[in-house]
């Protein structure tokens, strides 16, 4: 007789976290595939496989759910920079890894969800303020993640912090090109961004070595 193995029951906190994650994933799918106007609570709940009552149990309003969608993207980007390991790669590899990892997030079709939220909320001043506040908090969290990464040198951290606003702005613009199916442009543009980052890393490294040499001469 085969003995039935009972799996440990998930805690209420685990079930709640799983449900919230399912609603966020469903909202991303509906927003990116159907657009803001059709991203109703009913459509999102159906996509997630839950009732609308369950949705509003976890998210008081649809706006709260959409903010969680934006948080999800921020979390993915922060994770990329927390996982960077400078000692395992040359500057060129670090630059390419950083750019390609970011594009893996910003170049995905799911990123349409972010644009749909921004466009859908653009005429509401209160919601626009929430978006601006969220952008600021996300930038602060990303900067803090880079600062706290002990596997990156100070010169790499300062270079990333200086260039990231430009790189992210460029990628947001590049993403809009996916609407026109101009994929042939992406790799060359990514190469340019990686080359710019590598050049800045090289400059920072050279400046550090020069300071080190001057300090040794003074001694």
How confident is the model over 97-102, as a mean pLDDT?
Answer: 92
Write down the mean pLDDT value for the chain: 88
Q: Give 186 or 22, the one with higher predicted confidence.
A: 22
Residue-level pLDDT at 213: 61
Q: What tokens appear for 36 in the block?
A: 């803001």
CA angle 86, 91, 97 (to 5 degrees): 70
Q: Give 217 or 177, the one with higher predicted confidence.
A: 177
For 13-39, write each residue's pLDDT tens digit.
888 999 999 999 999 999 999 999 999
Tell whether the model's pLDDT for residue 53 goes beyond 80: yes
Beta-carbon count within 10 A of 103 CB: 20
Tell whether the model's pLDDT for residue 7 goes beyond 70: no
Residue-level pLDDT at 121: 96
Residue 69 — very low, low, confident or very high, per pLDDT cuts 50/70/90?
very high
Tell whether the model's pLDDT for residue 58 goes beyond 70: yes
Residue 186 — very low, low, confident or very high, per pLDDT cuts 50/70/90?
confident
Residue-level pLDDT at 123: 95
User: Residue 84 in contact with residue 94, Cβ under 8 Å?
Assistant: yes
User: Residue 91 in contact with residue 198, Cβ under 8 Å?
Assistant: yes
**Looking at the domain covering 61-218, what would its CATH class be?**
mainly alpha
Nearest-angstrom CA–CA distance, 30 and 16? 21
Residue-level pLDDT at 208: 62
Residue-level pLDDT at 65: 97
SS (H, E, C) 162-205: HHHHHHHHHHHHHHHHHHHCCHHHHHHHHHHHHHHHHHHHHHHH
Per domain, the residue ranges of the chain are: 61-218
CA angle 193, 199, 205 (to 5 degrees): 140
């Amino acid at each position: 007789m085969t003995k039935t193995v009972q799996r440990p029951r998930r805690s209420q906190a685990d079930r709640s976290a799983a449900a919230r994650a399912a609603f966020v994933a469903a909202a991303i799918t509906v927003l990116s595939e159907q657009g803001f106007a059709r991203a109703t609570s009913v459509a999102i709940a159906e996509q997630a496989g839950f009732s609308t009552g369950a949705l509003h149990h976890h998210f008081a309003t649809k706006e709260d759910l959409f903010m969680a969608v934006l948080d999800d993207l921020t979390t993915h980007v922060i994770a990329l920079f927390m996982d960077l390991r400078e000692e395992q790669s040359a500057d060129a590899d670090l630059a390419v890894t950083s750019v390609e990892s970011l594009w893996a997030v910003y170049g995905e079709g799911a990123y349409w969800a972010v644009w749909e939220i921004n466009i859908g909320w653009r005429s509401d001043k209160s919601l626009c303020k929430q978006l601006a506040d969220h952008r600021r908090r996300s930038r602060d969290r990303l900067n803090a993640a880079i600062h706290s990464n002990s596997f990156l040198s100070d010169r790499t951290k300062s270079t990333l912090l200086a260039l990231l606003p430009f790189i992210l702005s460029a990628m947001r613009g590049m993403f809009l090109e996916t609407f026109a199916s101009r994929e042939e442009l992406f790799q060359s543009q990514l190469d340019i961004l990686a080359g710019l980052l590598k050049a800045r890393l090289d400059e920072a490294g050279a400046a550090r070595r020069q300071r080190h040499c001057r300090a040794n001469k003074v001694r």
